[in-house]
A = this chain, B = another copy of it.
Amino acid sequence: MSDTITIEEVQRLITRAPFHQWLGIEVTALSDDGIELTARWREEWVVSPERRYTHGGILAALIDLAADWALVKRTGRGVPTIDMRVDYHAAAMPGDLTVKGRVVRAGSQFATAEAQVYDASGKLLASGRGTYFTAPPKS
């Protein structure tokens, strides 16, 4: 139904959210069952003042964001997250991040999607998956 949504429309929908603006989200690729985003590093992400790596909550937010919007060709919008899991693989040092989301299985009531976060060198930092509520909103 929304399979004609363009990357520009998705970017516009995502940018409407103050939180997404704060994360500096840019949509860099969009396909039928996937999306690629970048996030712009900011000092407020840091958890360790000495070692300077990013808090896992930021990586969790990016996993959720990319998994959710991987569904956008089907949903036409961001949909509610029911639950999610994140696995942390390596410390995220200062620098922009890339997140790839992909649909695992889409249904009319709920869907499973997964995502990976990479640094600029392509190193895998975190990965995870979530369950999303895809039923149309009650009017």
Contacts and interface: CB of A to CB of B under 8 A. Distances in A.
Contact of A57 (B19, B109, B133): B19
Interface residues of A, number: 48
B89 A105 contact: yes
Given A56-B64, A60-B57, A105-B124, A49 B18 contact: yes
Contact of A58 (B16, B44, B57): B57
Contact of A82 (B61, B88, B104): B88
Interface in A86-139: 86-90, 104-105, 109-110, 112, 124, 127-129, 131, 133, 135
Interface of A: 16-22, 43-49, 54-58, 60-62, 64-65, 78, 80-90, 104-105, 109-110, 112, 124, 127-129, 131, 133, 135
